[in-house]
Amino acid sequence: MPHSVHTTKQKMSFPTRKINQSNIGRIFYGISITGLGLQTVCYHDFPYMLIPPNHSWIPGFVMFAYISGALLVLAGVLIVLKKKTIPVALCLGVVLVLIFCFYHVPYELIATSNYMEPIAWDNALKELALSGGAFVIAGNSSKKKKTSQKLITFGSILFAIPITCFGILHFLYAKGVAEYISSWIPCHLSWTYLAGSALLSSGVAIMLKIKLRLAATLLGTMIFIWFVILHSPKVIASRFADMGSEATSALLALAYSGIAFVIAGFARKTVQS
C-alpha cells in the first residue's frame, strides 16, 4: 500500500514593509529647505517669508544672500541624505527661531502700522513653522529618549501654533483664500472653510497631543494633496518672474506636510516602544 502523505497547509507569508512616515517627512522637509536655498541663490534675495522685506540695512546683501542660500542648500541636502542631521537641523532651527524673534517680531511691531491685523503676521508664522520643523527633525533623529522627546515636543508646539493660526486666517479672510483655489474646483468657499477647520483642529490636536498620530497623518496628507493639486500647477503655469513666490508657497506646503509626517512617525514609534 502506498504510504500516506500527510501535508500541512502553510500560509504563505510575504514580507511587507510599513511606510516610514518619519523618513518621508524628513525627505520632504530637506527638499523644501534645499529649494528655498536655491531660490535665494537664483534670485539674489530671500524667499518672501524668510526675512522681512526691509533688509536694505544689511551690508553686502547680495553676497550675504549667496552665502545664506548655499548654506540652506547644504543643510537641505544633508537632511535628505540623513548626514549630520541632528547638528544641522538644530542649527537651522535656532537660526530660524532667532530670525522670528529678533527680526520678524520687531519688524511687525515697529516698522509696520498694521500689526493688529492678523494677516500681517502670516509670513512670520510661516517662518516659525519652519523652525519648529527643524527641531522636530532633530528630535526624531536623536537616539537619546529624553532629548528626543523634548525636541519633538518643542518643535511640535512651534509648528502647531502657526497651523492653528492658519486655520483661523482661513475663516477671517475666506474670500481671499478662496481666490487661490484653482478654477476647476467647485465650491471655493466651502473648501476654504473645510480646510480652515482641518488646520485649526489638527493644530490644536498636535499641541494638546490628542490623537497625535492620526491628527498629524491627516494634516500631512491634506497639505501634500494641496501641494500636488494647488501649488504645483501654479508653479508650472507661472512666468519666471512670478515663479519665486509660487515656488516658495509650494515648497512651504511640502515642508509642512513633511513636518506633520515626522510628528506622526514619532508618535507611532512612541506607542510601539
| pLDDT tens sequence across 122-151 | 999 999 999 999 999 999 999 898 999 999
Q: CB within 8 A of 193, min separation 6: which ones?
A: 170, 171, 174
For the residues 143-164, what does the mean pLDDT come to? 95
pLDDT band at 14 (very low <50, low <70, confident <90, very high): very low
Residue that is written with C-alpha cell 500636488 in the block: 228
Contact predicate 232/109, CB 8 Å: no
pTM: 0.90
pLDDT of 11: 45
Q: CB within 8 A of 228, min separation 6: which ones?
A: none
| pLDDT tens sequence across 166-221 | 999 999 999 999 988 888 889 999 999 999 999 999 999 999 999 999 999 999 99
| pLDDT tens sequence across 17-49 | 567 899 999 999 999 999 999 999 999 999 999
